[in-house]
Chains A and B, each alone.
Chain A
Amino acid sequence: MSATSPRAGLSGPVLALLLVGAAVMLTPMVWTLLLSVKSNAALLGDSGAALSPPYTLDNYRAILADRLTSRWLLNSLIVSLGTTAGVLVLSSLAGFAFARLEFPFRRSLFLFVLLGLAIPEQAVILPRHQLFATLGLHNSYPGLILPGLTGSFGVFFMTQYFRAIPRDLDEAALLDGASRLRLFWSVLLPLTIPAQATLGVFTFLASWNDYWWPLISATTSDYYTLTVGLASAQMNYAQTSGLGFLMAQAVFASVPILIVYIVFQKQIVRAMAGTAVR
């Protein structure tokens, strides 16, 4: 370990505190995993049975054998990827426009976008539901994807990132005869890749975990996303006699999220540390 390594600066008590914190965070996850590989009957009387064998993959087999689960998984992927792609495209374009272009009402429009950050989804869900009903968009992929594209956070985030890029680059490119589109596409957009990655990961995670809108927009099981589908699959009151199955569902729904975290952990850590917009 080098002298400049972050770990070198940690004193024993701090390290111990961090380890305790990590254990506290990990324990529910390990507990969930253990419960998921126990039979439901064994857990009915004693959830502590999860700490000892025998273990079984029956709960996972039950999930995978259900033809609807793969459909819900596919729906979640389509919706999350569609939303992520849409948000990246729209936010990048809007961010570039707000940061770099002069047009009437630019400041007012940006302020209007920012107002969106202060309005909770619950406040607009009824009119949005009515609008989508009028347009016949419920129980469709556009119906599930479009609301996710209207978030203000992405526009604000990308605007700030574009603003942080020196304007000298624009001037140089324009002097070389580049059009605005060329400036955006070939010069500035490649510089925003770290921000795109961060925004993409956050959007994907939020879309994957979304429950409320898919619950009321996708009312036929063919269009359920995984979160709604797995909730609908619970078989009894408070899932009392199916605890293992419930936990297996939780683990199953988390796997794609886990993969995203593993692949994009650098971007996530940077975003969390507030360094993405530098």
Chain B
Amino acid sequence: MRWCGLLLLLLAGCAAPDQRPEIVVQRFFGECGVIHGGSTDVAAADTECGILTTLFNRFEAENPDIRLKVNVVAWPGYPQLAAQIAAGDPPDLVTMHQSVISDYQDRGLLEPMDGVLVEAGVDAATFTPAARAGVVKYGRVYAMPWDTIGRLFHINTRLMAQAGLMRDGKPVLPRSPDELLAQARQFKAATGKPYLVQAHVNAPDFHVALLYTYLLAQGDTIFPDARHVRLDTPAARQVVALFRQLHAEGLTTRNQDFPAATARFVQGGGGIFPVGTWMIGPYDAEAARPGSALYRSYAIAPFPRLWGQDAAFVDGHAWVMPRAARSRSERAAIARFLGFLARYNADWSRTGQLPAFQPVLETDSFRALPHRGDIVAIASTGTQLPEHVRRQSAIQGLIGEELEAAVTGIKPIDRALADAERRVNRLYAELP
């Protein structure tokens, strides 16, 4: 018996090593192996985590000649990526926000992906304009776009109707700052509730998205070059003054972080929640649940035009390839994986994010998804940050802090905007 055991051990030791090419894919969106661990039915999957997990399962099932190793990282995963790059051991593909790509591309840490995308059968000409702007830097494609994230007005139509702000089954949205204030006052008088639900605490991105959107609408250049931001402008003062007035008059919720604002909207605690595409799914589920404050009372719309022209500041998720030495077979495996993902981009759009590929955007199945017809234009008109903008996360934090202080009345608007500009420019001055 002992000899048999020894023989088995020897045989195990003699087993041929796994010759398959390995690709290491690193992503955020969480871990949900419990729910979707064994599933390969992509069409049946839901949530960002669920759809990605199922996609990866399916790829493994369909491509047994490739070893797929998946790292799930804590959102957003950039500290880990930086550490991996510093250690000389980066993953092969990584989820990255399109607004962050410049930061890594600028330092030569990402591989241009034009070649691998061609090998994958992914035609960069099929990217939507918004997605293309997010991944093309200085004429080269540095990522395969996965979606476009836009900010929207999520609307409680029951409360809007109560306030007399519905026409032909559609919400009546303002077309100027004065109209916004008038409608907000009308809404509050009729419902006793704030017109806007907003996250004012620890949510710098909310203020920044609003400010960027309405500066773009007025044709302001926010980032004139790679080392400067321009925020201390009449246009910016107008935008912040409007939101400060809404806050001062109690026409918006106050002192809430993002989860609290989310809950407030679900409870029917306000008329409009200006938040991202990613909340369409959860709110739609609420709209279908009898007893919910949103039951059959939910609509979405792009940010209304208050100044200048229609505009939407957008971002998106993308798959980037950190620079590293890779064999021919590994590159081929990466290409096959990217091609596989691209074919399932339509499934990803069930999450609420807009697809990154124009053909998907034009399919009947996409248009048949709830509310998508109302926001599809964002994939074309959405504006990304210019390609020379670096350290987006850090500067968003700085600008957001100052905006929070200005909107809530802690700081004079002029000073807050001047401080935001000064702090960002100082950060840029320290960059190599």
A residues whose Cβ falls under 8 Å from a Cβ of B: 43-47, 62, 65-68, 126, 129-130, 132-133, 138, 215-217, 219-221, 228-229, 231-241, 243
Contacts and interface: CB of A to CB of B under 8 A. Distances in A.
B33 A68 contact: yes
Q: Is chain A's interface secondary structure helix, strand, loop, or mixed overall?
A: helix
Contact of B83 (A67, A129, A239): A129
Given A130-B86, A236-B47, A46 B263 contact: yes
Contact of B80 (A67, A215, A241): A215
B74 interface: yes
A235 B29 contact: yes
Question: Interface size for chain B: under 10, 10 to 19, 20 to 34, or 35 or more residues?
Answer: 35 or more
Interface string B274-286: 0010110010001
A7 B48 CA distance: 55
A229 B80 CA distance: 13
Given A45-B267, A221-B72, A231-B74, A240 B83 contact: no
Interface in B32-89: 32-35, 47-49, 69-75, 79-80, 82-84, 86-89
B292 interface: yes
Given A235-B32, A241-B282, 15 more contacts: A129-B86, A133-B86, A138-B89, A215-B74, A215-B80, A219-B26, A219-B83, A219-B89, A220-B69, A229-B31, A232-B31, A233-B32, A240-B262, A241-B262, A243-B259
B425 to A, nearest CB: 25
Interface of B: 24, 26, 28-35, 47-49, 69-75, 79-80, 82-84, 86-89, 257-259, 262-263, 266-267, 276, 278-279, 282, 286, 292-293
A255 to B, nearest CB: 19
Contacts of A44: 262-263, 266, 282, 286
Contacts of B89: 133, 138, 219
A132 B293 CA distance: 54
A232 B73 contact: yes
A43 B88 CA distance: 43
Contacts of B278: 236-237
B83 A238 contact: no
The 4 closest A-B pairs by CB, nearest first: A235-B30, A133-B87, A216-B83, A45-B266
Contacts of B259: 47, 238-240, 243
Contacts of B29: 235-236
B48 to A, nearest CB: 7
Contact of B74 (A65, A234, A238): A234
A136 to B, nearest CB: 9
17 contacts: A45-B292, A45-B293, A46-B267, A47-B259, A217-B83, A219-B87, A220-B71, A221-B72, A231-B74, A233-B30, A235-B30, A236-B29, A236-B278, A238-B257, A240-B258, A240-B279, A241-B282
A234 B30 contact: yes
A65 to B, nearest CB: 4
B290 to A, nearest CB: 13
Given A130-B86, A133-B86, A239-B259, A219 B30 contact: no
Nearest to A246: B259
A67 B74 CA distance: 18
A225 to B, nearest CB: 12
A232 B31 CA distance: 7
Contact of A221 (B35, B71, B266, B286): B71
A138 to B, nearest CB: 5
A44 B281 CA distance: 13
A43 B262 CA distance: 11
Contacts of B267: 45-46
A236 B263 contact: no
Contact of A235 (B24, B48, B257, B292): B48
A229 B70 CA distance: 13
Contacts of B73: 219, 232
Contacts of A132: 87
A263 B278 CA distance: 45
Contacts of A238: 257-259, 262
A241 B282 CA distance: 7
Contact of B33 (A43, A67, A231, A243): A67
A102 B136 CA distance: 66
Contacts of A243: 259
B84 to A, nearest CB: 5
A133 B88 contact: yes
Contacts of B282: 44, 240-241
Contacts of A241: 262, 282
